[in-house]
Chains A and B, each alone.
Chain A
């Protein structure tokens, strides 16, 4: 349904998107994962024919974005990061306008507006001015305008940003519902959202493709590398950090023990385990057996940055700026 090959978008001095390629099959939900400024929005803007690519190709439903933008636009529903709303219009008036703009005939448009109003649960505010709506309602009206003409492809840029937890769940359900008939690309920087809604994931960082995989594979990779934060206090006399570290390293399943900053004479460590191994129970036992006090034992989720580091196998912190990681973008097995 969507084919992107070697897509590059360059502005005067920056490279926003650098040689990205991926494919999306019909009916799939694909998540676009990446930190802010990674190039997700730019890629989406190229797909929706708002920006022309500097190099490479992008096709939607067989139509090229440069050669046949009109056909592409007919088949895409787009919800940008800030929903494109006119504050002086009423909700139903706005949806009618967008519906007509997208090519729905005047005979059908009222019916369609009614349908999407119900689907997106904005019926209560259909006669309210958009300028007076809360963020949650605005987001839903934005979603309504994206689906009103029943497009083959939906491109949603951070659809749950700014919503409260209940609304986030409702929106996710709605998106899941839509997935069978529509092909959906969903961009976000929240990993859990990708987990819940998407079947596949495309990870972008600093304009480059970092990984593209099914969600299952991705979470398997990440689960295994879960870290555990440990805080140990002494029950009788000061502790030697080196000794403690050694003891912890000997717990089966532990791959690495890193000392961390601690307060008031306590010792803190971050313990990384091998893939697929859960070491918390063993660690707790080891600490207690050695006669120390176990102050704190908790799982530390990997930050998005650490995930990238994991996946690209680069042993450095993010440098920011335009320097791209030197490793090749293909996913490596840890």
Chain B
């Protein structure tokens, strides 16, 4: 296990040694901030309107601000994750350092887990940029913190799954751009599929919907911790990392 941590730390250091980590964090802070501004503004406007019309609408910060924001964040994440995972294996293959890793007394799964954890920790740092906005909500309102926590858990699980898929795609090529591009298209496809089949209830649609990474997030966004969603994400992570290890093994037969 300690090799996993050694590799994880190395990945993190590499991320923060290049502009990518800071760019992603800044970008996310900006986008999320903008989304936060829009959501809060609309919420306040709505409140004023309701007041003026004399109606007493039940105003719930959690439901009307945080839930759509979390959904928004998960969609933004879909586009950021390819940028995190594209260099995980592709760069090592290109520079030949994969040979160093694979001829050291380190198991393949330690390498994969270490890299995935490094990517996940970077993703957490990116998500943390939204923290200041959420903190504002607490300063000026009384949102319920439990659903927020569950929402972030969902974001982390969904992110972890996409990162694992991205890691797998990264092992298939030496070219970072290709790895990033393919990961992006896969994420886009997943997003679109969930979108298209959201209201469809035909046979194939329900299957796609059930398998969709995005759909399973909805429970978390609502603040519902459903074990089936957690298990779904954990199994997808395991499956993707397993595929990554098979792909890495196949490098030994192709080289």
Contact = CB atoms under 8 A, between A and B. Distances in A.
Interface string A80-101: 1010111111000100011011
B97 A102 contact: no
Interface string B221-252: 00000000000000000000000000000001
A86 B103 contact: no
A97 B6 contact: yes
A52 B253 contact: yes
A45 B6 contact: no
Contacts of A86: 10, 14, 95, 97
A86 B14 CA distance: 9
Contacts of B6: 97, 100-101
A151 B103 CA distance: 13
Contact of B96 (A51, A52, A80, A93): A80
A140 to B, nearest CB: 16
B106 A84 contact: no
Nearest to A82: B96
B252 A52 contact: yes
A52 B253 CA distance: 7
Nearest to A129: B17
A84 B95 contact: yes
B255 interface: yes
A277 interface: no
B52 interface: no
A88 B105 contact: no
Contacts of B104: 73, 98, 101-102
Contacts of B107: 70
Given A45-B255, A51-B255, A97-B6, A88 B103 contact: no
B70 to A, nearest CB: 34
A237 B255 CA distance: 64
Contact of A103 (B17, B100, B105): B105
A80 B99 contact: yes
B18 interface: yes
Nearest to B106: A101
Contacts of A73: 103-106
Contact of A84 (B14, B100, B255): B100
B60 interface: no
Contacts of A50: 99, 102-103, 252, 255
Contact of B97 (A48, A49, A84, A93): A84
Given A74-B105, A97-B6, A101-B6, A88 B99 contact: no
Contacts of A89: 13-14, 17
Interface in B49-98: 95-97
Most A CB contacts (10 A, CB to CB) among B103, B106, B255 go to B103
Contacts of A52: 252-253
Interface string B104-128: 1111000000000000000000000
Contacts of A98: 100, 104
B38 interface: no
Contacts of B17: 88-89
Nearest to A72: B105
A103 B106 CA distance: 9
A139 to B, nearest CB: 14
Nearest to A83: B96
Nearest to A42: B255
Given A70-B107, A76-B103, 7 more contacts: A45-B255, A84-B99, A87-B95, A89-B17, A101-B3, A101-B101, A101-B105
Interface of A: 11, 45, 48-52, 70, 73-74, 76, 78, 80, 82, 84-89, 93, 97-98, 100-103, 145
- 8 smallest beta-carbon distances between A and B, as pairs: A84-B100, A73-B105, A84-B97, A48-B103, A74-B105, A88-B17, A101-B104, A100-B6
